[in-house]
Each structure stands twice: as C-alpha cells, then as structure tokens.
Structure 1
Amino acid sequence: MQVLWHFRKDLRCVRVIASKLDTKELSKQVVDLFLLSSEEQGQKTVLLLLDIQENTNDNLQIKNSLRKNLNEEIHQRDITTNTPVVIIFNCSSAYCLTTAEATADVKLKMELSPHEKQRFEQKKKELKKKHKETSQEFHAFNIMQGGFKKEDAEKVITEEMINHVKNHKESSSTRLLSFLALINSYVPGSHLSKLFCQEFMDQTEQPTDEEKPTLETIMKPFMDLIVIFSKEEQEANCIRLAHPMIADACLKLFTESKLTRFDIAKDFLNSLVKGKESNYVRICNNMLVRRLQTEQGKQTFSRLILDIINERENNANQCICLLELASDLFSTDPVYPQTLARLFYIKVKEDNKYEEARKWATLAIKRDPKNSHIRDTLGQVHKNHLLNETKKQHSDINMYLAIAQSAIKAFKDEEEAAEGESEDDTGFSNRGLFGFLQSGEPCEKAEDLQARLQELWATEAEGRRPEFYLLMLLLFWPEEAQPAIANPPDLEKCVQNMNQSYKNKYQKYLRSRYLVPLFFFGNGNGLQRLIHSSKLDEMYLELLSEGHEKAEVECLQRISGKVEDDKVFVVIKAQQIQVTPHNRASVCKPGLVSFYLGFNIRGPVAYNIRYEDNFK
C-alpha cells in the first residue's frame, strides 16, 4: 500500500481485494483505466495490487488467468504503446516465497539493499538526535535497521518482563501477552480488539471496590512491546505487538517458561474466541488450517500445527485437541473436520486412525456437501488406507476391494461435485480423477483397465465426458521404450473428441478461464510417469505457466515433436498427435521442437516449447 501511495501521481494505482476474481471483467477495467486520458494527463500505466495472499491455493491460477485475459483484451483493442499497460503486484506471505531467479516475478524479501542500509543509518541518527534515549523504543524501526536479526528482537524483552512471566503465569497480563505473541507470530499483521481484551481482563481480574483498572494499567510490564492503534475511523481500538519478530521472541520466552504453544492456543480459543467466533474466523483459519507454500512444496499442515507436532514426539494428540475445539466453536465450517481427517491418516499411528479420519471427513462433507475439495479428503482417506494395507503381509483380497470401492465412490462423488460447482470458479477440480487412478492401480492391473477402456472405445457412444477421453490418453499414450499395444485407439481422434466434449460439457461454465494443468508426463513408465499438478512445487508450476524455453523441470521428461503449419505435434512411433501450445507466441516457425507434455480438461498441452536448432 505504501508503494501505491508513493506512485499515486505518476501511475493509476488500484488495489483488488478478493479471493475469487472475475479476471475477464477485471482485465477490461484495467485497460479502460489505462486508456483513460484528459487534456492534462495522457495514458498512464496501471499499478495493480492483487491482494489475494490468504488464498494461496488459487494464487498461481488467478495470476495466469489474469495474464491471459489482459493479453487478449490488449490485443482485441489493438493497443500499440511504448508504455506498459499494467504492472502487477501479487502479495504473498514471506513464508511462501520461492526462488526468483528462474521466474519473471520480483520477490520482495526481509533484506535491506546497501542503499537502504545507508538511508536507515542516516534516519537512525536523526531519530536519536530528536528523541534521544526514547529512540530505543522504536522497536520495528530498529529491527529493520539492524537487518531483521533475531537477537535484536530478543533484546527488547527486559529482565522485568521475564520475571513477570515466570512468576505470574496465570495473570491476565501474561495470558494476554501470550495471545498476542501467538497470533502475531503465526498470523503476521493480525490484531485483537482492545474492547474484547478489556472484557477478558475484567472477567479474570479479582473484583475490588476501586474502579476497574484499564488495559494499559494491567499490561504495564509489557506496554513497551505493544502498539495500540486506530482502524476504520474508531479511535485506538486495536492492539498488537510492535513487530512479528518480537512475537517470535515472546513465544520463545513462554516455551522456556514451560508454557507451550498448545497451552497458549487452547487458552486463546477458550478465553477469547468462544462466544465471539465471528470475530476470529480469519485468525483461527490462518493459524490452524492454512498450509503455506514453500520452495519444497506445500506444507502438510499449518505452521502452528507442525510446530506443536515437532515440539515433542507423539504431540499429534495435542493438535487433535485444538482442532476438535475449533471444530466445535466454528460448528458450520468444514475446514476443521477436514484438517482433522488429514491429521489422522497422515500423522496418527494408532490402529483406528483411518476410521477416525473417515468420521471427520464425513462430517466435513456434511457441512459443505457441494464442495469438491472437501469431498476429496474422504477419497484420500480411503486411498491411503488401501495403500497402507497393500504393504502388509496378509492378502485379504475382499478387504482390498471393499476399501478400493469406497475410495472410487468417494472420488466419483467428488467429480460430480466439481462439475456442479459455481461457474465463477477460475479452475476445475480434477483430484477426483487422479484419486480414482491411484485407487484402481493397487487392485487392478493397467492392462485390465486398458482392456475395459478399449471395449468402451469400440462402442463409440455419444455424449461422453472429457474425463473419459483424458483417461484414454493417459493410459494409451505411446512410450518409446515399451512394446506397442495391440489394437490401440486412434489418439488423434481421441484428442478431437475430448476437445468437442469439453465444449459441450464445460466451456459454458469456464468460458475464457485459464485451464489449469491436471497431469504432466514424468520420467517413469506406465502409470508411474503420471505426475499430478498438485505434486509439483510452486516454482516449477510458475516455470511451466510462464513458458520459458530454457527452463528445466527435473522431474518431467521432454517430449519430441515438431511445428508444422503453425500447429504443434507430438511425434512418437510413427504417430503424429496434435497438441495445443500453452503459449501460442512460442510457435514462431516450422521445425523440430521439444516440450513438457501436460493435460488439462480440454486435451494435451505443450509447455515450454523449445526449438531444437536453437540449442545445438
């Protein structure tokens, strides 16, 4: 926001706050804004801040869809200019940053440049001259000026504060500080209502004949760490710690004083959230549910849940306790039972973990039966149960089949939910199909699946869904190192049918939306070569979506092909199968090419097309 304010006179600055965007309509408005001119002002670049940082799952998808629609809008209006039409800022948490070198994005980090260090040093001298000793209380500035070092944050915690925490663990002042430390550490930028904090203290302090003490009086030992500020035209109504790193330092103090993250989180839910749940939806969701994207991929659980698990062995029970409490408090929200289901089948070691996981996944579906992502969890529970059973020594085929049937039914239900989801969605949920493939694999050979599909293909029935043709392509796509399949289906015709089926089934819903890749071909053989897009790191997905021809994605194999008459073909075993170029601008001349092969709900797609003569 400070950057937008700084450039408000030179650029047309816009902030968009939404978790789901109509990117086509937004693109029109951005171009309208760029073309807006007057006698005093000509065309100005639009500086667009996409504030979607709380919805990291859709971040890349929205960004790709917006880029696609902006390019189309600029092309349709025949805009020719030497001035950039739009510059996009895409906010992400500091914990979500991926490597920037191989992408077109600019990553903002908690790190000062040499020039910034000089300016901060100069400013520090000015503050010291003006405010003398009190300049040491400008904690956020001092932490930034010092280069964001942990020790600078820990220095602000005085011996008096340490003794107060150790000697008065049950006091309302210590408890409130622990709440602030928890939320400011795990949800940076969050705050508490000063009114609610005062109510909490009124309830916990011993009643006296004197007037009730103010929050500032009770919190006096820690007021040096606290900021009270105004929001939405109400005077001094919010409270937080001066900096997230100070929150981290306070949490360290509490854990050293035998007050764990679990203790604090449970107290927070029972003492502040209970009865006022609607005021804490965002904080609790971010703290207990939201999984961050890192360079290694998406984390399995929220940072707080993972930190509690890692504090001691067998700490999963504490996380179960917190999530059960949150599920009771937010009794209509499906994400807490969904997270509980995932926690049971991923982290719990007891024998009944799959039954417990199934129970919580079923409750999540009951709370939001039309949500395909919620339904996916039940399928994942059954699938993981099946895979776990196949590793054991016994061979109870009836058990395998029963679990597999439950998994397949769950994934089919998910697919039906995905088809019926809102047409405003920017993507299409496809995990049900992936789960179906994984669940069928342990109990049925690929050859049997191929045989069944060949029988269905021979009937040439009308009105088949795109998923059928996708399954055909994934199972029958030829491999150089494998023997040819007897009587293989006509894959070129399959691609054509899939494209037509997409138009009939989904185009009216998805319209000009960016179609996310569902699968890619990896380096394995058979079904093992299929890599679901959710298994790829965010950085790799960005490399694929941005189309850099020099980009290397180690887990994927490059496919040989050619460009002819502005069309792209896979060339394998004397077959030519047409595929859609992800970036049409990369198809510039005839010649031999290679690319990464992906599949979306419309058909096969060539990513990162590379002309081979450019790399000899």
Structure 2
Amino acid sequence: MQVLWDLRKTFRCAVLTDSTSDITNVAEQVVRLFTAGSRDNQNTVLLLLNEEQILESLQEIIMMKLAEQKINTRMPVVTLLSCVRKDVVLQNDQVILREELSHTEQQRFNEKAEELRGRYGDKYEQFHAFRIMQTNFSRELIKQACTVFRTVKRANRPRRTQLAAFLSLLNAYVPGSYLLESQCLAFLKHEDRSLEDQMEPFSDLIITFQEDKRSDKKVCMVHPVLAQQCTELMAEAGVTRSDTARNFLNYFCRNEVPSFLLAFIKDMLTKREVTNEEREDKFSRLILDIQNTEHKVQSASVLKVASKKFDQNPFFPQALARFCYIELKDYNQAEMWAKRAKERCPQNSFVADTLGQVHKNQLKNQMSTATAREILQLAKKAIDAFKHEEQLAEEEIEENVKKTGRAKSLPVSNTRGQFGYLQVCNILYDLLVGQNEAWKGVLTKNQPMHSVLNSLGDNKLYRFNHLINSLRDEVERKCDFFDQYLVYSKLNVERDDPDYISKDTTDCYMKYVAHSTPSHIESSCAQLIQKLEQSLTDKGHVEVLSHLVREYTESELQDVTTRWGENSSSTDSGTAAVDFMLAGFRQKMPLSKKDAPELYMVALLLYWPDSEDSCLFDLSQMIRQMRSSYEHVYKKYLGSRYLHPLFFIGKGQGLNRIVQREVLEELFLDQSEETSNWSDNWRKENLFKNASVQAHLLRVKGVVRNYRVHALVGGKEIEVDANVRNSLWRPRPVFFYLGFTIRGPVAFGIQSTTGKIVKVKNN
C-alpha cells in the first residue's frame, strides 16, 4: 500500500480488494482507468492484487477490451503487482519482502525511534509493531512484549483474557483477520466502557481501526508474530489451541455468522499451505499444530464443532472426513462425514471426491486376512463413488463451457474421479492376484469368470461379474485419456503434474491392458506403430505418423499394412510405406470439419510454407477448423491448463522439417548451465535465445497488430496464438518461431525487427 501511495502521482493506482470479482469487469475498469475517459489521457495503471491464479486471464481480457475499443497505446497499460503471503518461496524470480531492513532503512527507523521517544516518553515501549520491525523481528523483543500472557491461568479466565486468546489465535493463523469492535464489546458484556479500558493489561497488544467513517470499527492484534507468540505462551500455560478454537466457535458462531468471519474460520481450519515441494500440507496449520502439540483427537474435535456449527457448509465435514481416514484410520466416521459433506453440496465434484478417497484408502489398508468378497465389496463402493464424482465433474465442465463461451481459458476441471478409479483398480489387482494368480486372467478378460470360480473357492463372487467385466475396457479408456492429458498439457506454465499420475496410470495399463487380447483394429494399429518405430530412426517422425495411424479406419490400416508387406524385401520398405501414408494423407486434403485436431496439426506441419510464399490451402481456415475441433474434443478437459508445444517447424522439407519439443530441450540443456527448470524456460522463453535451438528452427516473419500476432504468408496475415502475451502490447514487425499445440500454431520467442508495419490482406 505504501508503494501505491508513493507512486500515486506517477501512475493511476488501484487495489483489487475482492479476488472473487468478475475478471471481465475488473479488466473493463482497468481500461477505463488507463484512459480516464479520454483516449488522449493515457497513463499506466498500477494494480495491487493478492491473487496469482487470475493474472494470465486478466491480462488476456484487458487486451481483448483494448482491441474491441481500438485503443492504440503509447505506454504500458497496466502493471500487475501481485502480493501474496507465503511461507515458502517456489520460484527463483519472485521478489521476496524479507524480515530484514536495509542499511538505509535501519538508519531511518533509528531516527524515527528517537523522535517517538522524545514525543511519547515511556509510552514508546508500547509501539510494538514499530519496534519489532526496527529490530528485524527480534525474537527476544517479541517474547518481552508478550510476557503478560505468562500469567494466564487455565481455570477461571476473565472474559478479557479469553478475548485476547481468541484474537491471538485468529491473527496467528489468519494474518489480516479481525473481529468487529461491537462483537468484542458484546462478548465482554460491558458495552458502556471502552474496549481499551476493558482489555487491560492486554490493551497495548491490540489495535482498533476503522477503514473509513462509514465502516465498523475492527479489532486485531498489533502484529501476526505477536499473535503467534501469545498463542504459544498460552499453550504453555495450559490454555491449548484446541480449547481456544472450540470456545471461539461456541461463542462467536451461535447464530448467523457474518460472511467475513466465516471466511476467516474457513481459512483457519481448512486452508492448506503449500510446501517447498509445491505440494499442499495435509491439513491447515492450526489443525497440524494441534495434532503435533496436543493430540489427533483434539484436531478432530475442533473440526467436529465447526461441522456442527456451520450445518450448511460442506468444507468442515470434508476436512473432518479427510482427518478421520488419514490420521485416525476411522473409516466409518470418515464415511459418515464425507457423505454429510456431499449432502450439503451435492453438485460439487471436489467435495464428492472425499468419499471415494475414504473407500480407496480403506481398501489400500485392508488386512491380509480379507476375503476376495470383502475386497470386491469395498472396491465397488470406491469405484461407484469415483464414477459419480466423474459424472458431476462432466456436468461442471459443461456448465463452465456454457458460461465462458469461446474464451480460451476455463476454470480448473476435476479429473480426480478418473484417476481415483485407476488407483482403485491398481489396489484391487494387487490384492486379488496376491491371493490367487487365477485373478490375472479374469481381470484382463483373457478368461471368463465362471471358468475359474472353483479355483477361486467362492461361487458367490459371480455377483461381481458385471463389475469385473467392465474394469479392463474402462481402465484402457481412462489410461488413453491421461496419456493425452499429460502429453498435450500440464498443470500450468510454471508447474508440471506430479510424477505419480503418470506412474500410477502406466502401472494400471500394464496390469489390465498390456497383456490382454486387443481388438482387431487395436492390434493392427499397435503393430503398424511398432513397425514405424523399428524402421524410422527419428522419433519425431514416428510421433507425427502415429497421429495419422490412430485416426485410420480399418480399411486404411489394411492398405498400409499390405503395402508394407509388398515392399518387405526392399531395404527401404519403411520409407516406401511412409511415402504411401503421406500420399494417402494428401488425398484427404482439405480436411473436413469432423476431423480430429491431430490431423489438422499434421497438415499444418507439412504444408506451412518455408518462406513468405503462398500455401496451397487456406491456412487461416485450417487454423480456425483446428481450434474448433480442439474445442469440441479437448477444451473441456484442457481449457484450464498450459498446452505443451508438441512440434516446431524447422529447416528442411516434408517430415524432416518437423522438430519435437524434446529435441529442443535436450539441445538447450546440453549447452546451458541451467537445470531443466522448464517453468522459467517456457515462461521466459530462454530456450529460444540459445544458438543451437535457433539453428534448428525456421524463423517466421510476422507482425503484431491490435494485440494479436500474425504470420506473413503469401502477402496475407495469418493470425496465430502467442506463448507470451507480454509481447503483444506494441504494434511492430516481428519474427518468431512457430510451434504447435493441440489447439493450433503458437508464436514463440517473438522479437522485433527493423522496418515499418505494412498493412496487408487478412486471411
């Protein structure tokens, strides 16, 4: 806030106070503030916000609004100042505000300290927040400031002591939280006296503030580090965190709870911090601290009180269910609370996931004495729960697609139901096959269940026949989904998906599908791809051709296989077959609207001109149709994720011009001292500054106009996406390297060139 105040005359400063605001509305306000009512009155907006997830979407929509209004900018439109409180640093380029003063700051603090001592005398000792910062958050000073809490006793605590405990707990675990002064006075039951007088001897550790004359007065601790220390001292004196939390909930949550207070309580009890490994903690900091300093049962008790107090809220029983199955191993209680969470929010797939996780973990921890029937009963409950979650997720996705229309980004889609299904199948296979090898044939559908019932020793198992028969094919479908999901995209531009997703998916495929009997067309497709792998040395060529093979009809597969057989005696049979495949593909051109995005990608890779020469086909139409095909097939699953570039256009002809992303990454790593931190390399595009990488790629001429980038081909402008949208603010001639995601062509490494923009025909 101080930065905004200091720069208020240089920039047009604003604060986004509600991260749940409509992003489109925020973008419109930014543009309005930038122009201040007149196109000739432009000035950069400095926007402070505390939400990382909306940065890319906000930037995209601001550009869209500028383009709609045809505003030509003469300066940067907006600087997004994202300030987020974190316990760990996840990126090496983040600016960290440390608890340490610079030499100049230390001098100024010392001078100010002398001024305050002269003005306030002994009262200076009560300026705790100032003194803490002046001493670089000295632990000794913090302990000294909180010594009044050492005298707190567990029994017969006055209401002022209880209120101080509530404020300390709240501020320690939710920095920035507060209570209203009216709430505090009502708790103290003496509204005729000032809060400061009633809170002695804790008054100097508490502040009352008012944001404006119309708002209510708010009360909080002077600083979160003081609140943390006070909470620890009270715990040492026997006033435990769990007692304080329960008492707080029982008093302040009796009737209707204000929305701001519910948000603080939800953060305190359910918000999970991100660790150094970029994984979330299992539970909130408070629940973990209660577990570590008291007992697991006390953590569960606090969550139980919250679940009962907020009897419409699904997130407290959801957290309680998770705690019951993860820490207490009480699966009956976990199931009860997970079902209660679902009842409170029956359409939320993420809430529904918890019930599946309860059953999955119970199955995973089955005793070795469990019978096949018991194992299958529990597996069925888990599978049914995950299938219901998947159904809810599909409904959420359809609703999100309707709301966002043709927007490129979507809210995060939930794939936990599909993945949970595969994890259950993995566990089920291990448990059953561990008991009897005969289960291998049954689970892979190589043997019908009725033929091995005698060897399994339980004829009543046949009632699970429908479930067991469905597993192999469903596993294959879900493994195919995750194969495309992980190859075509990742979590976001800065983070990869956890390794265990790929590992568990592969394990499940190997157990159920790899050794089962495939259908005729599956077998022919797999054999043809295998022949390509054996005949072609370039993995990129194999991958491109594999996209063609997977879209072949049975007759097309037969034609290629026959042609390969006819040339089997030739030393160059592989090349002949590839030529035949490409010739067949050329006959399909132009593609139809019903064709898969993969076929459009292959077509664009093969037919994109080497220079500014014209193309045989309408490139713009092909790109539009590819995007339309992507939206129909993949957008609902990948719309919230960063799309991997799969191939780039290099120098050469035909297949030889196609360069795999992995080849570029290997080239970069071979000649760079950096590790494979692709969060930086793809976000900052360091890869394309490497001479070896540049030598492999075709440089494409283009132009940035109206916040879009266009490739110049045959005297026409072909609009493509940009990997880094920061490159699109200024109109200018450019060059770039052309990559392809499953959505279409993308410009990477956009660089300015000399010369003027010449208006050419849009295609």
State if a TM-score over 0.5 links the two structures: yes
- Output the CA distance in 2 between the equivalents of 1:606 and 1:168: 67
Give TM-score, length-normalised by structure 1. 0.72
Contact 1:544-1:608 at 8 Å conserved across structures: no
**Secondary structure in structure 1 of the residue aligned to 2:49:** strand
Match of 2:120 among 113, 126, 131: 131
TM-score by length of 2: 0.59
* Pick aligned residue for 2:131 from 125, 128, 142: 142
Equivalent residue letter for 2:55: K
Q: How does 1:566-605 map to 2 (within 5 A)?
A: 582-583=723-724
Determine the C-alpha separation between the residues in 1 that align with 2:68 and 2:227.
50
- Structure 2 equivalent of residue 44 of structure 1: 43
Would you say 1:268 and 2:248 are equivalent positions?
Answer: yes
Cα distance change on mapping 1:151 and 1:545 into 2, 3 Å: farther
SS at match of 2:98: coil
The answer to whether residue 481 in structure 2 is matched with residue 470 in structure 1 is yes
**In the TM superposition, what is the alpha-carbon distance from 1:31 to its structure 2 partner?**
3.3
Selected match of 2:266 from 281, 285, 292: 285
Rate the CA distance shift 1:330–1:363 in 2: closer, same or farther, 3 A: same
- Partner in structure 1 of residue 346 of structure 2: 369
% identity of equivalent residues: 32
CA-CA distance at 1:172 after TM superposition: 1.2
Q: Quick check: 1:226 aligned with 2:206?
A: yes
Taking a change above 3 Å as real, the CA distance of residues 236 and 472 of structure 1, as seen in their structure-2 partners, is closer
Question: 1:85-144 deviations in whole A, cap 9, x for unaligned?
Answer: 21112232243x52442x3x4333333223222221221122122222222211111111
Alignment of 1:108 onto 2:97: yes
Q: Is the 8 A contact 1:324 1:340 kept in 2?
A: yes
| CA RMSD between the two structures | 4.6
Deviates more, 1:13-22 or 1:264-273: 13-22
Matches within 5 A, 1:483-502: 485-486=526-527, 491-492=547-548, 493=551, 495-496=597-598, 500=628, 502=630
Please give the alpha-carbon distance, in whole angstroms, between the structure 1 residues aligned to 2:399 and 2:7. 40
1:198 and 2:199 are equivalent in the alignment: no
Deviations 1:1-45 (A, max 9, x none): 333233222111122233335434533442343234769x84211
Indicate if the aligned counterparts of 1:94 and 1:109 stay in contact, CA closer than 8 A.
no
Greater RCO (Cα-Cα under 8 Å, separation 6 or more)? 1
The answer to whether structure 1 residue 339 and structure 2 residue 319 are counterparts is yes
Identify the match of residue 56 of structure 2 among 53, 64, 72: 64
Does residue 179 (structure 1) correspond to residue 179 (structure 2)? The answer is no
Cα shift at 1:440: 3.4
Contact 1:545–1:607, Cα closer than 8 Å, also in 2: no
Which residue identity does 1:27 align to in structure 2?
Answer: A
Offset, 1:241: 1.6
Gap regions ≥5 residues in structure 1: 53-58, 204-210, 457-466, 522-538, 552-560, 568-578, 611-616
Q: Unaligned 5+ residue runs, structure 2?
A: 405-409, 430-439, 446-469, 489-501, 504-509, 515-524, 530-544, 552-595, 600-625, 647-675, 689-694, 702-719, 729-733, 751-763
Are the counterparts in 1 of residues 597 and 629 from structure 2 also a CA contact under 8 Å? no
2:560 matched to 1:504?
Answer: no
1:6 matched to which residue of 2? Answer: 6
Using a 3 Å threshold, how does the CA distance of structure 1 residues 417 and 291 change in structure 2: closer, same or farther? farther
Q: Is the 8 A contact 2:349 2:389 kept in 1?
A: no
CA contact (8 A) 1:99 1:295 kept: yes
Q: In structure 2, what is the Cα distance between the partners aligned to 1:225 and 1:442?
A: 54
Closer, same or farther in 2 for the Cα pair 1:36/1:411, shift >3 Å?
A: same
Q: Which residue of 2 aligns with 1:55?
A: none
| Secondary structure of 2:251 counterpart | helix
Could you tell me whether the CA contact under 8 Å between 1:582 and 1:605 is conserved in 2? no
Instruction: Confirm or deny: 8 A CA contact 1:190 1:240 kept in the other structure.
Output: yes
Aligned length: 526
Specify the code of the residue in structure 2 equivalent to 1:8.
R
Contact 1:450 1:475 in 2 (8 A): no
Instruction: Say if 1:35 and 1:548 are closer, same or farther in 2 by CA, change over 3 A.
Output: same
Distance across 2 between alignment mates of 1:407 and 1:270 = 34
Secondary structure, counterpart of 2:201 in structure 1: helix
Question: How far apart are 1:291 and its partner, in Å?
Answer: 1.5
Measured after TM superposition, the shift of residue 175 of structure 1 is 1.0
Query: 1:522-541 to 2 correspondence within 5 Å?
Result: none
Deviates more, 1:298-307 or 1:190-199: 190-199
AA partner of residue 44 (structure 1)? N
Offset of residue 361 of structure 1: 1.6
Alignment of 1:87 with 2:75, yes or no, is no
The match for 1:438 among 423, 426, 442 is 423
Counterpart selection for 2:281 from 277, 288, 299: 299
* Kept in 1: contact 2:338–2:355 (CA 8 A): yes
Amino acid at match of 2:547: L
| Contact 1:379/1:435 (8 A) holds in 2 | yes
Matched-pair contact (CA < 8 Å) for 2:360–2:382: yes
> Highest CA radius of gyration, 1 or 2?
2
Question: Aligned residue for 2:153?
Answer: 166
C-alpha distance in 1 between matches for 2:340 and 2:38: 58
Aligned partners of 2:170 and 2:268 also within 8 Å? yes
1:447–1:8 distance in 2 versus 1, CA, 3 Å = farther
Question: Is the CA contact (8 Å cut-off) linking 2:680 and 2:686 kept in structure 1?
Answer: no
Say if 1:347 and 1:485 are closer, same or farther in 2 by CA, change over 3 A: farther
C-alpha distance after superposition, 1:491-544 (max 9, x if no partner): 35464389655523786x89xx963249999xxxxxxxxxxxxxxxxx989647
Which residue of 2 is the match for residue 360 of structure 1?
337
Deviation per residue, 1:368-418 (Å, 9 max, x gap): 1122221222232233333334x8475625246424523442332332342
The answer on 1:398 being equivalent to 2:398 is no
Q: For 1:68, what is the secondary structure of its paired residue?
A: helix
